[in-house]
Amino acid sequence: MARKDYIVGSGNVFEDLGHPRPAEALAKAELARKIAEVIAKRRLTQAAAAELLNIDQPKVSALVRGRLAGFSLDRLVRLLVLLGSDVEIVVKPRARTAGRARVLVA
C-alpha cells in the first residue's frame, strides 16, 4: 500500500493550525470575506467604504486583507448591516454525526 504524502485537514484551517478559538476565527474570516465582496460589488473605494462604515480607511484596508485583530464577530456583523446586507443567525442542535458543535457562515 502506498504511503500518503499529505494530511487530510479538518475543514477548518484555524483548527489545523492550532488556533485557540478556531470556530470563531473561521467565522470572522468568512464575515470579512463577505464584507470585502460587498465593497467590491458596490465598487466602493476604501475611503468611501470607511465613511459608510464609520471607521478609518486603514481599518478597511486591514479588513479586506484579512487582518482581523481588533474586529469582533459583533463588529463584523454590524459592518455588514451598514453595507446593506441582512444577517441571519440560526441556532440549531448539533448534528449527531458531527464531533463538536460548529459556527458556520453561509
What residues contact 21, with CB distance under 8 A and at least 6 apart?
A: 14
Domain boundaries, the chain: 17-82
Q: How confident is the model at residue 93 (pLDDT cuts 50, 70, 90)?
A: confident
Q: How confident is the model at residue 63 (pLDDT cuts 50, 70, 90)?
A: very high
**Percentage helix, strand, coil for the chain under 3-state DSSP, each rounded to 5:** 45, 0, 55
Mean pLDDT of the chain: 88
pTM for this prediction? 0.80
- Set of cell numbers at residue 81: 448591516
Q: For residue range 39-57, list pLDDT tens digits in order.
A: 999 999 999 999 999 999 9
Q: Dump the DSSP string for 34-63.
A: HHHHHHHHTT--HHHHHHHHTS-HHHHHHH
State yes or no: pLDDT of 98 exceeds 70: no
CA distance linking residue 22 with residue 104, whole number of Å? 11
The position carrying cell 476604501 is 46
Q: Which fold, 17-82? A: 434 Repressor (Amino-terminal Domain) (1.10.260)
Q: Three-class SS of residue 85?
A: coil
pLDDT for the residue numbered 105? 74
Q: In Å, how far are 24, 53, 65, 78, 79 from 60, measured between CA atoms?
A: 20, 9, 9, 14, 10
